[in-house]
Structure 1
C-alpha cells in the first residue's frame, strides 16, 4: 500500500482509504459481523485512513470503527469523521458553537477517543462558506484539544475553492471519479498549491464503475440508490454521481473495453483517480472482506497509459459531462 502526505498535517496516509458510509447505513443491510470483517481486511491490507460521519447509521459506523480498533490494539489509523448533518432542518443558522461542540462530543464518545483526528463540516449549506465565525468555532475546538484538524466535505468545486480560503482548513472531501472529472480542471491544482489534503469520495459512482450493474439491478428500500435517485433525501450527486442511470450504464460499456484483462473494473476506476497526484486518498466503501481486499489492491496496479487516460476523458466529455460538469 502506497502512502501520500495528508496536506499540512504532517501525517502520511494510505492512498486507498476506507469509506465507512456503507457499514453505517443507507446501502441496504450490512451485518455488524460483515462490516467489522471488511474493516479488519482493509486495515490488514495496509489501509491507514478511515472516513466516517456521525450520521452514518446514526452513529453506528463510528461505533463499529471503535470496536474494530479496540480489538486490534496498537497504532490507530487516521480516522476522519464529519459534523453538521444531524441538524434538522439542516440550515446555516444551526452551525453554532453549541451545536458543533455537541456533535464533536458525541463523535468522541462513539469513537472512544479523547481527540478526533479530523472533523469535516458535512456538506454544509452554501451560506456557511461565508460565515467566518463557523470556522472560528472549529479553531476553538482545535485549541480545546477536542480535534486535531478540520476540513470540509463539499458538493461543488466552487465550495471547495471558497473553503480553502480559510487558513486552517486542512482538507477537502469532494466527489472525483471517471464520471466527475471537473475537480481536476482547477480545484486540484489550487489544492496542491496550498498543500491541502484531498479526499476523493464516491470513487465508484455508487457502484456503477464496478461494471456489475445492469438495467435489471434492484436495490433495497433503505439503499440510497433506490430512494435518492432524484435527490429526494440529499444531493442527487451523491447517488450514481448524479448521472442518469441508463446514461451511465451505456458509458460503463465503453469503459469496459479499456480495462486491462484480469483487472476488475473497480480497481481500474480507483487507479484512474490515483493518477491525479493532487488526490491524497480515495475512500471506496466495502460491505465485505472481498470488496475491502479488492479495493486495497488498486494501489499496486501500474499507471494507466496516456492514450487510455485520453480515451476515458473523451467518454466523459461526450457522454457524461453534459449531465454533471456545470452542475457540480
Structure 2
C-alpha cells in the first residue's frame, strides 16, 4: 500500500509518499480502508522534531483519518466490516492511577498516534478499536477525518477544563486554525461573547460566520489593547491561547481580574516570558489541557455530525502533496483544516 512517510526530522523535503507493507491487525485492532485524513500542527512539530521524541524512520505521520472498516480482530466487539469510522488519536494505558480514576489524558504513558507511534496517513490502517469513533453514513469523509482531534481537544479545554458559563466573554487566538475555529463555535454555542483574532479580512469574515461577535486583526492591532477598549478596560473572562510564546504576555494583559487562560498547545514555541506579577495580583488562572477522553471526543463529534458545529476545510490535497499541506499550516494560509486523501481515492 501507499503511505506518507517521514524519512528523518527536518524540513518539508523529508516528507515522501510511497510503498509500505500492508498492515496486519492484532486481535484487538480494526482494519480500515482510509478515505480521507487531515493535518494538524502536531504533524509539523513531529516532522521538525521535538525534545524527547525518538522515532524509528521511516515514520508514518498523521493523527486524523476516517474510512470504512474492512476487517476486525477476534477480540473486537464494537465494529464490523462496512462500518464508517474516524480515528481518535490519544492512547492511554488503562491501568495507571490516572486512567483508573477516569483521566486518560493524564496517563503516565499517554501518547498520540502519528506523533509517538506510527500514524494514519496511509491507504489502510490497523487501529485498536478503542481509538475509533463511529461515524453516521451521511457524514462526508473530509468532515469525518477533520473533526475529532480539534473538536475533541477544544471541547475538553473550554467545557471540561475551562468550565465556560453562558454570559462570559472569551477571546480565541488563531481563530483560523483547526482548534481555533472549533473553539469559536464551542464558545458561541455555550452562550459566550466571543472575540477572535485572525490576520486577514477573509479569515475574520469566516470567524464571524461561525460565531465570533468581535474580530481583531492581530497583524495591525495590539489585540490585548483592542479587547480592553471593547470591554471598557475590563478585559475578558477567558483567553484561549494555543499560539504560545508570541502571544502569551498579551493574553495575560487581555484578561479581566480573576480571569483564566486556557492552553492546549504552543505553535510559536513553548517557553514564553511570563509576568508573574500580573498573574498573582490579578489572581489569574493558567489552565492546561491535552486532547480528551474518547467519550468527550465522541460527544464533541456528535455536534459536528448533527450540524451544530461545522468543520471548515481550507484545502483538499492528494497524500503525495502532503508537503503542500504542511506549507499551508506553516504559512497560516487559509481558514480551517487541511485534508489529505490517498492518491488512489483523490478525485480533485
TM-score by length of 1: 0.28
Relative to its length, the structure with more strand (as a share) is 2
TM-score by length of 2: 0.27
Relative to its length, the structure with more helix (as a share) is 1
Give the structure, 1 or 2, with the largest relative contact order (CA under 8 Å, sep 6 or more). 1
Pair member with larger Rg: 2
